[in-house]
Structure formats: structure tokens, C-alpha cells
Copies of this chain bind each other. A is one copy, B any other.
Amino acid sequence: MAATIGDVARAAGVSRSTVSYALSGKRMISDETRERIQAAIDELGFTPNAGARALATAQTNVLGLYLQFQEDEFAPAMLQYVLPVSTTAREHGFDLLMVTDTDLVGAVTRTTSSYMVDGVVLLDVTYDDVRLEPLRRASQPAVLIGYARDAEGFDSFDLDFGEAARLAIDHLADLGHRDIILMTPPEHVVARGGSYVWRFRDAAVERAARYGIHLTAHYGDSRQPGIRESLDAAFAASPAATALIVHNDATIAALPSYLNDRGLRSPDDLSVVGVFSREFGQTFSLPYTAVETSPDRLGQLAVQQLIRRIADPAEAGVPVVRLIEPSLTDRGSTGPAA
């Protein structure tokens, strides 16, 4: 039904190989021939068949994006990574197969071993991510957005959460705060292997100790009333706290309302530092100074590296674990300790 390269060749009075080369530019074609071919293509509305091309070249121009939607997590946070990954992929001529199967291992195996994708982007990587094992058997390269215990053989990109914590603590220490509350992601995120929880927390604890700062860490929640209750508990345990660090998407999104309920204003009554992206802050109109998580930058770097590796596995060199440097954006929610 649809025109094939043979139809174009016939209409232009050339061979199929000539049409193919005209399309790919892989060899010189006379102007006259090229024009005849182009006219035939336009007239017939020809587009190369992706399956046939994939079979002939062993390349699909599709990347797999693997993500998990967890019932008990704050879904909007994941979305920030999807768009930059998709955009960067398209800039390099790749489409995106979005895989959300709950059978994580099966999904990776199925899509890689059938050669549906040229490369793999893993989102929401956990410390002992079960997807890494099937990925090692795969012949396609993979990139992780996140941090795994044994990322040997894979490129990994993540925020430097240790440095993020030090930035937050330094900022508050400079302002004279000596009693700080840290709200972390929920405990089940730790159980699942969300390493950013303890990487941030441990670094914060250590840095605070160095300043002689009293820091207490509490698990936050991702749903009400848990969000509110965990904050209540944290404030009750540290009545003299003058600053709050929130490393928890659902909690920071709910914080304006919570502080209002308690009649607290930042920075006058309480200094607040969040950990979230510019996009997230904008979506939820968050008025807080924050350590930026830069999902757009991570997504872009990850996809670029993956595509480099697809294009030239040898050239791309040894796999790297790259922790990108966070920065702090001051939105005026911190001030001198009371």
C-alpha cells in the first residue's frame, strides 16, 4: 500500500541502491539524479520503513526509558526527568520506548533481547537495582540516572547528594543556625534502596557535627496526614530548632500550607531550605531557597553519553559514575538565626 524504495527507484528511473544512497548521503549522487529521486519521493510520499531499516542496519533509533510508578511515592517528581530525556533523545534522532511494566527484570530482558531498543535509560535507580542483572546480559549500552551499589559496566549520572547536604548545612551555619531539623524521604524509600536518602542525610549529619550544630533527621511521608504528622513530631522533638531542611518532594509541596497552619513564617520564624528542581518549584510555586536537583541537566548528560556509546562503543571509553555538582538558589526563605 505505502510506497517502498522500489517504487521510488522505478519512478525516478534509478536503482534502489541509488535511492538509498541519496537518502543517506553515503555516496555522491549527481544533482540531476538526486532531483529526480527527490521528485519521486515527494510525489509518492515515501518514508523508509523503520522495521526494514532496523533489520538491515541492526539499529532501531529507539531508546528504552524504564521507570517505575510507585503507589506510595510522589509521582509528579518523576515527570521532571522524562521530558529532558525525551527532548535530548529526539535532538539526536532517537525515539523513546516508555516501559512501565511492574515486572522490571522481564521488561528489560524482553525489550533488549528482541532488539527493540539501541540503548537503555534507567530511571529511579535503586541501590541494589534488580534491572542491572538483565542489563549486563544485554548487548545494548545502558545509562543509569541514579546511584547503584555496583554500577560496574554502566554509565551513571546522579546529583552529588553529599555535596547538596553540605551546601545546605554551610548556608545555614553561616547564618548562625545551631539547631536544625532535616526531613528526609519516607522510610520505605530507604527500604527500596533510594540511596539519596542516606547519602544526603549522612553528609548532613557529618557536616553539622563539624560545626557543632544540633541536627535531627526525621523521615517524612509522601501523603497526608503522614506529612503533617511527621513535621509535627519533628518540631515537637526539637522545639528550639531555627531552621528546617526538607529533602522530600511531597513534604516541600505541602509546606506552605503546613507552616501557615502553625502560624510560622519563613524566614522570620524559621529558615527553610529545600532540595528540589527549578521546574518542581515552579509547578508548586515554592517560595523556598533550595539546593537544585537539576533533572534536566542529568537527563541531558545521561542521554548524550548513552548516544555516544551507541555510536561508538570503543570511543566512549570506560564507564563513569558522574555526580554532578549541585548549586543553591536563594529565594529568601533563610535568614539569621533568631
Contacts and interface: CB of A to CB of B under 8 A. Distances in A.
A15 interface: no
Contact of A51 (B2, B54, B111): B54
Interface stretch (A113-121, A153-161, A208-216, A290-298): A113-121
A49 interface: yes
Contact of A114 (B47, B110, B114, B283): B47
Contact of A257 (B2, B49, B55, B256): B256
Interface string A62-75: 10010001000011
Contacts of A260: 257, 260-261
B285 A115 contact: no
Interface in A91-125: 95-101, 109-111, 113-116
Classify chain A's interface size.
35 or more
Contact of A79 (B45, B48, B75, B284): B75
Interface in A149-192: none
Contact of A98 (B60, B78, B96, B225): B96
B69 A83 contact: yes
Q: Which of A2, A51, A253: most chain B Cβ within 10 A?
A: A51
Contacts of A261: 260
Contacts of A257: 256-257, 260
A52 B50 contact: no
A47 B110 contact: yes
A51 B47 contact: no
A114 B46 CA distance: 9
Contacts of A90: 100-101
A139 interface: yes
B100 A87 contact: yes
Given A1-B139, A139-B2, A65 B98 contact: yes
A203 interface: no
Nearest to A224: B285
A225 B285 CA distance: 8
A331 interface: no
Nearest to A96: B98
A254 interface: yes
Contacts of A110: 47
B55 A51 contact: yes
A49 B50 CA distance: 14
Given A90-B101, A96-B100, 4 more contacts: A49-B115, A62-B116, A75-B79, A75-B283
11 contacts: A50-B54, A51-B55, A75-B79, A75-B283, A76-B283, A82-B98, A83-B100, A95-B111, A96-B97, A97-B97, A257-B257
Interface of A: 1-2, 45, 47-52, 54-55, 60, 62, 65, 69, 74-76, 78-79, 82-83, 86-87, 90, 95-101, 109-111, 113-116, 139, 223-225, 227, 253-254, 256-257, 260-261, 282-285
Nearest 3 pairs of A and B residues by beta carbon: A224-B285, A51-B54, A257-B257
